[in-house]
Structure 1
């Protein structure tokens, strides 16, 4: 782990004759110039992402009706200023060697693009919906074909931003815009009204397609774009799957099996996010069994507790032998499937 190597370690290597005098300083400078390794998530990074989410929320789904009353010109000026200043600040941070802070600010800039397009459409008379007073925050809560231009512009802006600042978090607003676009396009296919059953189905299949797309990307790019792509895909897929209702025990058991499959994918791909969603799904199924099927059983909570302890034990074992277990699991797969999976990451 290069983040644990310091000057004292390299000095001892020189004393032991492993490195020549002078090589320790050159190697230390090289290590310091490298990008932080994957998984080296510090408290400052949490602050970066949390701050970015606050700004996204403030300029998105938390935008109040009062903002709609300031006028479209003012709305356009404010949103454009936000995008421009955030982009310039992100480029400045990138130039000063702060890629994470730069990346999250760039993602925030992309997330405000729908508001810019919203104001432009209203000013130019291109607003396709009958109600000119539609609030912007409805973009995040209502499925409407009128949002398509806003979503397409967000995707294009995100791709352009990735060329300027190639940071994986920028994938998140792109993926969300594509998810919204899939919903809005589906309204054109299904017609109106667009029922919750249809929304769940679209979310499920869109999420599944997104997971497949980032499975292809995973391990094949310099930056870890798949990390946020998997999160967006799992949110859409798992959310659609979980909201589906089934009256049959077989359907509910199948739901549990799919979530167990997600946990298995965590082992194959070495992506903890699959384990999180899969564990939530299994917990939901066990909760159903507890309250519906085994409501009168005294032993059921005890059995589930033992299962939970066993899972924790397996988790501890996996943490110690992650590399060996991942390789062993892959050895059971056919060659063509192993070739499709991303290479094991050190």
Structure 2
């Protein structure tokens, strides 16, 4: 549950006989001594994640040819220095009771591992691609078979980092590397050329598999690793599904139905991230229909506005009644299936 309680709420519960005399104050003291068990997301947390993304971008997306000219040895030293220092900072912050700041720095350290492996491969002469394909920033923009060792090393480093710093955000670079690896392996087994349509299909099935894996993880770990796994899985699944070329109206209607299914899963699991992706898909389909019907009409902006308001309204209803809706939906499922679902703990 994400609702916040204060001393007044606990006093009322004690007055109503729900808590025994003296228990309200004892419970309040206990909660105040364990602030990290609270589900609040503060402005400082935004700064932590934003800072982590900036560093990831600097060492990945924004690594230009100018950096490549410094030489492979320099790249390796820079990468190892970043990884070592960030890991030390992360461990230090963990020990100082700053788990979020430490965790995101641990994730950043994992995200730099591909750069170190890239430099090592080039130094040892193991780099499988030609010089025209040697830019490291292409690792994030064009997946191909030559990146497999970098991806495997990232997954291994991420698992080791999770042992050292058990923080859920570290799942993200692991999931990203696995996503790249699934496409690269498919290309490797299939052989070239591997079309973008085939890449989308692989992305869709990988995302679905990742969602199933974290459905098993959900509710069975002390920390919420499932959130980031769901996010990565949905990005791969929904992205592949949305980018697939559907030339028929039936295919587009099926796309909308699948997104409605994601919204139902959000209610079932009480995971808003499914609602977000599902609502975006449904809104995209309704926008397409409204364009086909009202493309030459002055009503088109009004229709899109109404669709947007409807999506927002659904979000409000879900937020207000998600627990009741979830329980009602779960009541319709067989007990054998219910045992596979995470409990109503959040």
Asked if these proteins are the same fold (TM beyond 0.5), I'd say yes
Partner of 1:292: 292
Partner of 2:50: 50
Give the alignment of 1:252-291 within 5 angstroms.
252-291=252-291
Q: Would you say how many aligned residue pairs link Structure 1 and Structure 2?
A: 341
Q: How has the CA–CA distance of structure 1 residues 285 and 47 changed in structure 2, closer, same or farther, with 3 Å as cutoff?
A: same
Q: How has the CA–CA distance of structure 1 residues 136 and 300 changed in structure 2, closer, same or farther, with 3 Å as cutoff?
A: closer
CA distance in 2, matches of 1:110, 1:85: 12
CA apart distance, 1:287:
1.8
Deviation per residue, 1:9-65 (Å, 9 max, x gap): 78x979x98218xx9478625642353333x11111011000000100100111111
- 2:21 is the counterpart of 1:18: yes
CA distance in 2, matches of 1:318, 1:70: 53
Q: Which runs of 5+ in 1 are unaligned?
A: none
- 2:29 is the counterpart of 1:28: yes
- 2:247 is the counterpart of 1:244: no
Contact 2:234 / 2:277 at 8 angstroms: preserved in 1? yes
CA distance in 2, matches of 1:119, 1:26: 54
Q: How has the CA–CA distance of structure 1 residues 8 and 201 changed in structure 2, closer, same or farther, with 3 Å as cutoff?
A: closer
CA apart distance, 1:299:
6.2
SS of the aligned residue for 1:328 comes to: helix
CA apart distance, 1:5:
3.4
Partner of 1:210: 210
CA apart distance, 1:156:
0.4
Partner of 2:344: 344
Deviation per residue, 1:70-91 (Å, 9 max, x gap): 0111111110000000000000
Partner of 1:71: 71
Give the alignment of 1:1-346 within 5 angstroms.
4-5=5-6, 18-19=21-22, 24=25, 28-29=29-30, 31-33=32-34, 35-38=36-39, 40-131=40-131, 134-296=134-296, 309-346=309-346
Higher mean Cα deviation, 138-147 or 200-209?
138-147
Q: TM-score, normalised by structure 1?
A: 0.91
SS of the aligned residue for 2:130 comes to: coil
CA distance in 1, matches of 2:107, 2:328: 38
Q: How has the CA–CA distance of structure 1 residues 138 and 317 changed in structure 2, closer, same or farther, with 3 Å as cutoff?
A: closer
Contact 1:7 / 1:24 at 8 angstroms: preserved in 2? no
Contact 2:207 / 2:234 at 8 angstroms: preserved in 1? yes
Deviation per residue, 1:201-234 (Å, 9 max, x gap): 1111111111111111111111100100001000
Q: How has the CA–CA distance of structure 1 residues 78 and 251 changed in structure 2, closer, same or farther, with 3 Å as cutoff?
A: same
Superposed CA RMSD: 2.6
Q: Which runs of 5+ in 2 are unaligned?
A: none
CA distance in 1, matches of 2:37, 2:65: 42
Q: How has the CA–CA distance of structure 1 residues 90 and 288 changed in structure 2, closer, same or farther, with 3 Å as cutoff?
A: same
Q: How has the CA–CA distance of structure 1 residues 315 and 137 changed in structure 2, closer, same or farther, with 3 Å as cutoff?
A: closer
Deviation per residue, 1:115-161 (Å, 9 max, x gap): 01111111111111232771100111122211101000000000000
Higher mean Cα deviation, 122-131 or 210-219?
122-131
Q: How has the CA–CA distance of structure 1 residues 120 and 309 changed in structure 2, closer, same or farther, with 3 Å as cutoff?
A: closer
CA apart distance, 1:269:
0.8
CA distance in 2, matches of 1:345, 1:74: 49
CA distance in 1, matches of 2:80, 2:310: 53
Q: How has the CA–CA distance of structure 1 residues 17 and 169 changed in structure 2, closer, same or farther, with 3 Å as cutoff?
A: closer
CA apart distance, 1:305:
5.1
